[in-house]
Amino acid sequence: MSKTLESPPNHQTLKIIKLAITSRLLLLSLILLWRILIDPYDTSSPLNSGCLSTDHQQQERNVIQFPRIGSAIEDSVVWDGVYFVRIAQCGYEYEQTYAFLPLLPACIVLLSRTVLVPLVSVIGHRAVLALAGYLVNNVAFVLAAVYFYRVSVIILKDPEAAFQASILFCFNPASIFYSSLYTESLYSLLSLGGLYYLISGASNVAVLLFALSGCARSNGVLNAGYLCFQTLHQAYDAVFVKKRACSAVKVLIVGALRCICSFIPFIAFQAYGYYNICHGHSLDEMRPWCKAKNTFVVQLYPKSLLVCSS
């Protein structure tokens, strides 16, 4: 898993990019069609109360040139997208918002304050945040499709089979989640990219991408399993093939450090959430689990927080 591997030909990569873009355009057309024909099942898009911070409230009072376009974009923000846009707009205000990891909101804020900032006066701040989220996720999906193809070529050792697998990836039944305000696209990009660089021998780059995947979805920490497998494989090779016990110890230490690095962003966010919720408040304002001894918070799934105390 550590030797350098050649990348697929550029023309195949371009075909995958075109395929991925085509799938997004087709999906967007189907979304618009069904939105016209059928009323949406979810009605959470109007849930947009003002931010608690006065600074954010001032931002919301700006005059909008095309409010109808802005409203149409805002109406598309449903389900988990409501939380991600709210976090990008107002920050982590409530306990339940900490169930949503910060990478997607951070990307939304970055894009909305740079490339898309001229559109704030045109369609409104919240609409720009939603538009930024859609752009981030669709671009991430296209790049994820490229890494999916590259990893498939390496594993399957058959470019044609890898191309067919990439077609299925681009047009899979759950494809809508990759173009909505969810974390699937970013997580796929970081996980597949990390796996590709790990196989190619760029382990440090892989660690960085795996660590960032833990900032996108909580199950990103499971990507450390790839690092563990590589470490055990190299340690076995050092002991039983090369007969170098000292090298095996070095490999195990480096592997352990890489695994720890991949966990740090996720653990840091848990500590950040615990500090914001449990510190700086009076006893009456504190959540009950903040007062318990030996309390720790474990985020098992992006939609749920499990709080354990003793």
Residue-wise pLDDT for 205-233, tens only, equals 999 999 999 999 999 999 999 999 999 99
Is the separation of the CB atoms in 63 and 120 below 8 Å? no
**Residue 220 and residue 222: Cα distance in Å, rounded?**
5
- Would you state the pLDDT for residue 157? 93
pLDDT exceeds 90 at position 287:
no
Percent of the chain with pLDDT over 90: 62
Average pLDDT over residues 83-96: 92
Q: 103 versus 246: which is more confidently predicted? A: 103
Of 49-63, 155-169, 237-251, 294-308, which gets the smallest average pLDDT? 294-308
**Confidence band for 299, pLDDT divided at 50, 70 and 90:** very low
Average pLDDT over residues 55-80: 78
- Would you state the pLDDT for residue 309? 43
Q: Residues 1-49: pLDDT tens digits?
A: 444 455 566 788 999 999 999 999 999 999 888 888 887 777 666 667 7
Strand partners, 235: none
Nearest to 104 by CA among 205, 14, 185, 45: 185
pLDDT exceeds 80 at position 289:
no
Read off the amino acid at residue 76.
S
Average pLDDT over residues 54-77: 76
Read off the amino acid at residue 64.
I
- Would you state the pLDDT for residue 39? 78
- Would you state the pLDDT for residue 305? 46
DSSP secondary structure, the chain, as one string:
--S--PPPPHHHHHHHHHHHHHHHHHHHHHHHHHHHHS--S---TT--PPPSSHHHHHHHTS--S-HHHHHHHHHT--THHHHHHHHHHH-S-SGGGGGS-SHHHHHHHHHHTTTTGGGHHHH-HHHHHHHHHHHHHHHHHHHHHHHHHHHHHHHH--HHHHHHHHHHHHT-TTGGGGTSSSSHHHHHHHHHHHHHHHHHT-HHHHHHHHHHHHHH-GGGGGGHHHHHHHHHHHHHIIIIIS--HHHHHHHHHHHHHHHHHHHHHHHHHHHHHHHHHHSSS-TTTS-HHHHSTT-EEEEEETTEEEEE--
Residues 6+ apart with CB under 8 A from 19: 145, 166, 167, 170
Average pLDDT over residues 87-104: 93
- Would you state the pLDDT for residue 308? 45
**Residue 241 and residue 305: Cα distance in Å, rounded?**
45
Q: Residues 119-175: pLDDT tens digits?
A: 999 999 999 999 999 999 999 999 999 999 999 999 999 999 999 999 999 999 888
Please state, in angstroms and as integers, the Cα–Cα distance from residue 67 to each residue in 31, 59, 272, 300, following that order. 21, 15, 36, 39
Is the separation of the CB atoms in 145 and 17 below 8 Å? yes
pLDDT exceeds 80 at position 261:
yes
